[in-house]
Every structure is written in C-alpha cells, then in structure tokens.
Amino acid sequence: MLQFDKLSLNIPDTAKPRVVIIGGGFGGMNLAKSLKDKDVQVVLFDKQNYNGFWPLLYQVATAGLEPDAIAEPFRKMFDGHTDFHYRMVRVNKIDPATKTVTTLIGDLHYDYLVIATGSKSNFFGNEQIQKYSFPLKTIPEALNVRSQFLQCFEQASVTTDSAERQSLLTFVIAGAGPTGVEMAGSLAEMRKHVLPNDYPGLDFSEMKIYIVEGLGKVLPPMSDEAGQKAQRYLEDLGVVVKLNTLVESYDGETVTFKGGEQIKTQTLVWGAGVTGALIEGIPAESIEKGRILVDPINRIQGMTDVFAIGDIAFMKLEKYPKGHPGVAQPAIQQGVHLAKNLRRLMKNEPTEPFEYFDKGSLAIVGRSRAVADLPGNVHLGGFIAWMAWLFVHIWYLVGFRSKLIVFSNWIYRLFTYQRGTRIIIRPFVRKDDKVGQEIMLKNEMS
Ligand SMILES: Cc1cc2nc3c(=O)[nH]c(=O)nc-3n(C[C@H](O)[C@H](O)[C@H](O)COP(=O)(O)OP(=O)(O)OC[C@H]3O[C@@H](n4cnc5c(N)ncnc54)[C@H](O)[C@@H]3O)c2cc1C
C-alpha cells in the first residue's frame, strides 16, 4: 500500500533553469517538445498519463474508435528527451511568492511556470444537470457515453414498457458546437447503417436524436454558411435540430427546456459549455470569464515568470477581443512560440509577441458531409470538406501507430459501414441507481 509520507516527486536538482509545465495537452505537449534538449530542465505534470486527441473523442463515444487510437502516453512521447521529467499528478496550487507548485505528493520549485490545463465542462452552476448528464471532455467520459448508448439499446430490446423503450431510444445532445454536431451525425449514421442489424427486434423509427442549441445557429463558432449546411446535413440524417433552446433542468429522465417543453430521455449528452480548468493561486484580478488574462507573450498579467497557454489563456487583442478560439491550433502555436520566448528570456534577449495563424476550421456531420471555413472567406462543404477533415485529423494525430489505426479503421468503415468497437467494457451505472447496481452485480456473478 502506498503511504503519502513515503511519496516524493523525485525530480533531480539542477543548475539549469527549470521549466515546469502543468498539463500536457495540445499546448503543453508542443511546448515541452519545442524545449527538447535545450539547456533547460523540463518537468511536466499531468493528472492523466497520456496526451489526448480530443477532436476524435466523439468517435470513442460512438463506438468508432478505441481510446488508445486517440491517446499517446507521455512516457513514450518523450522517450529520448534529456532532463525531461513527467509525473502523473494533479497540481492543486501554485505559489508565485515562493515559486512553487503544490501537488498531492509534494512541492516543486520552478524558474518558469507554464499553466496549460485547458478547459473543463461548464454546467453553469446547475448541479442537477452536472449529476445526470453525460459530459464529453475525457476518455473515461467518452467510455461512459459509449456504454450508456449501447446499454440503452440492450435495455430497449428487452423492456416490455413502451414508454420506457421510447425514453431509452431518445438521445438529446445539448450544444450544437463541433462536438455536438459530430456526435449527433455519428449516432444518426449508426441508426441508419449499424443498429438495425444488431437489434432486429427493435423498430428504429422510434429512435429520436435531438440536438439543442441556445444560440440561433448550428456551429456557432463557424460561418453562417457552414452552420446552415451542417444543419441541413443533420436534418437529412433525421436529427431534430432545436435552435434558441436552453436546457433548464434534467433529472435523469426528463429534459426540461426554458419555456416548459419537455423530452423524456435517459441520455442527455452535455456539450453546451466549457470554462477554464483553473488552479488555486492565480490572483482573482488575472482571471476573466474563467480564463487567465495573459499579455502578448502569454505571461500572466501581474506575474513575472508564470505563463498560460491554450484554452486557459485569455489574450485580449484588438483582433481577438474575446481571446483566441478555444481550439487546438492556438494552443499548439502558443506552445511552440512560448518555447522560443522562454529561450529568449533565459538569454536576456527581447521577446516577440504571439501572432495567431488561423488555418481555418472544420466540422464533420457524417460520410461525405462536412463543412470547412478556410482563410480568405472560403467555405467548403460535402465530399471535399469531408476529405479535408479526414486528412487533417490523420495528419495531426500524435504518433504513427495512432495514425495507422485510425486510417485503417476509417478505410474499413468506408467499405463496410461497420463500427468494430460496440463493446461495453465497463458498464455505466449511476451511483444512486440501486436497481442498475443490483442488475450489474447479479450479471457479473459467476
Ligand atoms: C470533445 C472535444 C472535441 C474537440 N474538437 C476539436 C476540433 O475538432 N478541432 C479543434 O481544433 N479543437 C477541438 N477541441 C478543442 C481542443 O481540443 C482544445 O482547444 C485543446 O485541447 C486545448 O489545448 P490545451 O493544451 O489548452 O488543453 P488540453 O488539450 O485540454 O490539455 C490540458 C491538459 O491539462 C491536464 N490538466 C488539467 N488540469 C490539471 C491539473 N490541475 N494538474 C495536472 N494536469 C492537469 C489535463 O489532463 C490535460 O491533459 C475539442 C475539444 C473537446 C473536449
């Protein structure tokens, strides 16, 4: 048994400047890679032992990919880096006065600290929604969603109660951003190509998929053209799109919208908002709208050697008054750029401000149905955008093995319309669902 008083971060002392990075996502990973073998010690803390490729998380949730296809372990990723140290631990607090970070198993002094903790689901203070809905930000959450979907079909195929069956076959996705749209499209394709074969006893005309959005368009971060096209693609696939609709409550059985309309469902997927994954110790005046205010070199306002990059960073510029979009590219580019600036700071050279190069955005609804906004006000849809989406996602996946798995998986699906991962590895049962717990226990008894 591990004993706390016997644990230590075990990072070697060094005469080199020590850069501590909290979070090895798109931002932190690119920063650490860009500091490779420079004259610095790099310490990476992340509460999970892998870098996740979140744009494909919905495919794990909809039985399209296994989790290991979209995740690369840090220990493998940084194999061969000298004076690089990774520890799987959550950072709880920072103390800029003593230049230390505090974790469950000890403190560590830093010379330069970079916060790259990304964002987390935002339930806007609604504890009931937080308790009963299914967020989609991490691999365990995606596996919960996958289990829930598959369990709903299994249960629907054995219930004799038609109201219960209808509720099991109804799926509501809150938030019509890229993740919500991709989830809804993917589920609709499963309904068309996969589920009728798996469950010949079920009538899939009973299966309903809703996507609800508080704003007036689908894909709010993208152009109107992209939003309209994506909405048309979703509707063609039989998804019910509800705009200007806010979820007010959800008790695990009924979603109630502002205005009173209700839908009975066992599954509400929550993709309706994110907020920064903040850490204790950052002054309140450096935080705005859940993100950390930074200057043009990503230095946290009011601090000297502490920086923030990626989703958590709020760099207010004339061109980006609301900060950079919360997507992978700003995080990647800030990570690479900050590495150069840290080198300059260490050599007392002048730093250079960060400039975001917008490569455009993409979202997929289904086979041959995708949308793309490209620089120069170019909007693409259909097959070309779909091909672009496939290419970009393979290109940016970390690690040759993941690229190969995802590519071969997609080729397989292209010809067979199948999804190979419809397996309930870890059944999902809510902690307060006594009947569900009992059934699971009895099923597991040998
Ligand atoms: C489901 C989903 C789909 C997405 N789809 C797209 C897309 O199609 N295109 C696109 O460009 N962007 C997409 N995004 C957004 C994109 O993934 C983020 O913008 C990007 O990950 C931000 O990078 P980051 O480095 O700031 O944070 P992340 O990549 O989220 O990394 C943060 C890391 O910090 C770690 N961490 C957090 N708190 C702590 C702590 N206290 N201690 C230790 N470690 C900690 C986490 O474990 C994580 O590894 C999607 C996001 C999600 C969730």
Determine the residue of 29, 53, 280, 327 to mutate for testing ligand 1's pocket, defined as the one with the most ligand atoms within 8 A of the Cβ atom: 327
Residue nearest to atom 33 of ligand 1 (CA): 23
Residue 335, ligand 1, Cβ within 6 A: no
- CB 27 near ligand 1, within 6 Å: yes
| Ligand 1 lined by 21 (C-beta under 6 Å) | no
Whether residue 271 contacts residue 177, with contact meaning beta carbons closer than 8 Å, is answered with yes
Instruction: Kindly report the protein residue whose alpha carbon is nearest to atom 51 of ligand 1.
Output: 54
CA of 39 to the centre of ligand 1 (A): 28
What is the model's pLDDT at position 165?
96
pLDDT of 294 reads 98
Residue ranges of E strands in 367-425? 369-374, 378-381
Instruction: Return the closest-CA partner of residue 399 out of 185, 79, 59.
Output: 79
46 close to ligand 1 (CB < 6 Angstrom): yes
pLDDT at 432: 76
Task: Report how far ligand 1's centroid is from the alpha carbon of 151 (Å).
Answer: 28
pLDDT given at position 231: 97
Q: Is 277 in the pocket of ligand 1 (CB under 6 A)?
A: yes
Indicate which residue's Cα is closest to atom 20 of ligand 1: 328
**Segments making up each domain of the chain, as ranges:** 4-47+89-121+275-346, 127-272+367-428
- Is 293's C-beta closer than 6 angstroms to any atom of ligand 1? no
* Domain 4-47+89-121+275-346 shares a fold with domain 127-272+367-428: yes
Pairing of β 100-103 and β 170-174: unpaired
From ligand 1's centre to the CA of 314, what distance in Å?
Answer: 15
Question: Which residues are catalytically annotated?
Answer: 182
Q: Which DSSP letter does residue 133 get?
A: S
Separation between Cα atoms, residue 229 and residue 223, nearest integer Å: 10
Q: Measured between alpha carbons, how far is residue 41 from residues 14, 97, 125, 322 in Å?
A: 7, 21, 40, 34
pLDDT of the residue at 7: 83
Q: Is the distance from the beta carbon of residue 182 to the nearest atom of ligand 1 less than 6 Å?
A: no
- Rounded CA gap, 258 and 214, in Å? 10
- pLDDT at residue 446, as a whole number: 56
Ligand 1: centre distance to CA 277 (Å)? 10
CA–centroid distance for 39 within its chain? 33
Cα of 117 from ligand 1 centre, angstroms: 7
The CATH code that applies to domain 127-272+367-428 is 3.50.50.100
- The DSSP secondary structure of 190-257, one letter per residue, reads HHHHTHHHH-TTS-GGG-EEEEE-SSSSSSTTS-HHHHHHHHHHHHHTTPEEE-S--EEEE-SSEEEE
Instruction: Report CA(312)–ligand 1 centroid distance (Å).
Output: 9
Q: What is d(CA 294, CA 305) in angstroms, rounded to the nearest whole number? A: 12
The tens place of each residue's pLDDT in the chain, 446 residues long, gives 777 778 889 999 999 999 999 999 999 999 999 999 779 999 999 999 999 999 999 999 999 889 989 999 999 999 989 999 999 999 999 999 999 999 989 999 999 999 999 999 999 999 999 999 999 999 999 999 999 999 999 999 999 999 999 999 999 999 999 999 999 999 999 999 999 999 999 999 999 999 999 999 999 989 999 999 999 999 999 999 999 999 999 999 999 999 999 999 999 999 998 999 999 999 999 999 999 999 999 999 999 999 999 999 999 999 999 999 999 999 999 999 999 999 999 999 999 999 999 999 999 999 899 999 998 889 999 999 999 988 888 888 877 788 888 888 888 777 777 776 788 888 888 877 777 777 777 777 65
Q: Is the CB of 24 under 6 A from ligand 1?
A: yes
Who's near 174: CB < 8 A, 6+ residues apart?
133, 180, 212, 247, 268, 269, 270, 271, 272
Tokens of 410: 């997609």
From the alpha carbon of 90, which atom of ligand 1 is closest?
Answer: 42
Q: Residue 300 carries which DSSP code? A: B
**Ligand 1 atom at shortest distance from the alpha carbon of 279:** 41
Query: What per-residue confidence (pLDDT) applies to 445?
Result: 61
| Residue 326 Cβ contacting ligand 1 at under 6 Å | yes
* Cβ partners under 8 Å of residue 100, min gap 6: 94, 107, 108, 109, 110
Q: Output the pLDDT for position 394.
A: 86
Distance 439 CA to ligand 1 centre (A): 35
Distance 136 CA to ligand 1 centre (A): 11
DSSP 42: E
User: Does the beta carbon of 213 sit less than 6 angstroms from any atom of ligand 1?
Assistant: no
**CA-310 nearest atom, ligand 1:** 26
Q: CATH says 4-47+89-121+275-346 is which class?
A: alpha beta
The CB of 222 under 6 Å from ligand 1? The reply is no
